[in-house]
Structure formats: structure tokens, C-alpha cells
Amino acid sequence: MKKNFFMILTAIACTAILQQSCTNSPTNEPPKEPEKKEMSHGELVERGKYLVTSIGCDDCHTPKIFGPQGMSLDTTKLLSGHPENSPMPPIDKNALKPGNWLLFAGDLTATVGPWGISFSANLTPDTATGIGAWTEDVFAKTLRTGKHLGQDGGRMILPPMPWQAFRNLKDDDMKAIFAYLKALPPIHNKVPAPVSPPDVEKMK
């Protein structure tokens, strides 16, 4: 009798374990990822500001002020590009030869190299001279393809703009940078067009 009693208890315990095992068995469905919280516009702008400041966009795209301690950013012209009508320093045309030094203007907003002279763009949302008329898609395509205005037949973005690195930015980061740039005060500043090597040779 006692033996039968223990056999019944064992059977009940095995049944319970089997049922629990079936309940907890893995399914074919992949585990659900936690829902991604969408950033507010303000959070997007702050994220963009952090990225722009961290990756050094100001180094070339913001004019500088010179003082006893060297140069500092001209915060009244933040990210407005090479100042229009800014006189260029004397140009050493040896910089046009591949393998030689490339030359920066004193405030780093213009550069001379084998490609000629390039000028940093106005990244403020001024409609006439900046990116005010750009869409987020145009901005992203420009950085991803290295083509001016993201146009398939457009000219390549000239050095020293490191678009080859920026093209690896995640979509969310690209979106945040664009949101920050569009939130800047618009500054009217028509940056000069690039100068080709033959035209540099003609310069005094």
C-alpha cells in the first residue's frame, strides 16, 4: 500500500514538471526588442549640437577671432562658413602639386591643395546662402555620397571635408545634426565658389 502511494506521488510530480516544462518551452518567435523611444524635437537638437561640437565641424565652418591666446570661434558667425569677401593670404602655388603641403587660411575656413581652393560652406539655415532650402534627405545624401547637394551628376565635395567618415553616421545621428543646423540663427554669407588649379595659377 505504501509502495503504491509513493508511486502515485511520483507520477503526480512528474506530470507537474512536464506541464511546467511545456509551458516554459521556447517558441519560434524571436524575442521582442524594447520599444525605441522617439526623441522630441528639443532632444534631437541637443543631440545634434553634441555631435556637431564633438566631431569638430566648427574647426572649418566657423570663422575665428584672433587674440593674445591665439584664435577662438566667432560665436556671432557660428557655422556660417568662409566669410564672403574675406581677403585671401598670399598663396604658395607649390601646394597645388600632389605630395606637397596643403595650406589653410589663418582661420581654417579656406584650403589650398592639388584640387585648387576650397571654402567651407555656410551651414546655417539662411535660405539664400546656407542650407535653409535643403531637406533632410538632401543633407543625408550629400554626406553619404560626397556629391554637392546630393546630386548624382554633381561635383564631388572637395577636401578637406571628411565626408568619407561622416557617411558612416547612423540615420538618427544624421537626423539630429540636421535638426541642430536648422535650429541655428540664419546668417547671410555667400561663400565663394571653389577655384580650380588653373585659375589659382593665374592669381597674383
pLDDT single digits (tens) 91-136: 889 999 999 988 999 999 999 999 999 999 999 999 999 999 999 9
Instruction: Supply 134's cell numbers.
Output: 535643403
Q: How many domains does the chain have?
A: 1
Whether residue 34 lies inside any domain: the answer is no
The reply to whether 93 falls in a domain is yes
**Domain assignment of residue 47, yes or no:** yes
CB contact at 8 A, 195 and 117? yes
Give the pLDDT of residue 19.
Answer: 57
CB-based burial label for 181 (10 Å; 0-12, 13-18, 19+): buried
Q: 96 lies in a domain?
A: yes
Residue 23 lies in a domain: no
The Cα 44–Cα 172 span in angstroms is 9
Please, are residues 81 and 109 in contact by the beta-carbon 8 Å criterion? yes
The helix or strand, by DSSP H or E, that contains position 138, with its residue range, turns out to be helix 136-145
Asked if the structure places residue 174 within a domain, the reply is yes
Residue 6 counted as domain residue: no
The answer as to whether 157 is a domain residue is yes
Q: What is the pLDDT along the chain (204 residues), one digit of tens a residue?
A: 555 555 554 555 555 554 555 555 456 666 666 666 788 999 999 999 999 999 999 999 999 999 988 899 999 999 999 999 998 888 889 999 999 988 999 999 999 999 999 999 999 999 999 999 999 999 999 999 999 988 888 899 999 999 999 999 999 999 999 999 999 999 999 999 999 999 999 886
Range of the domain at 65: 40-202
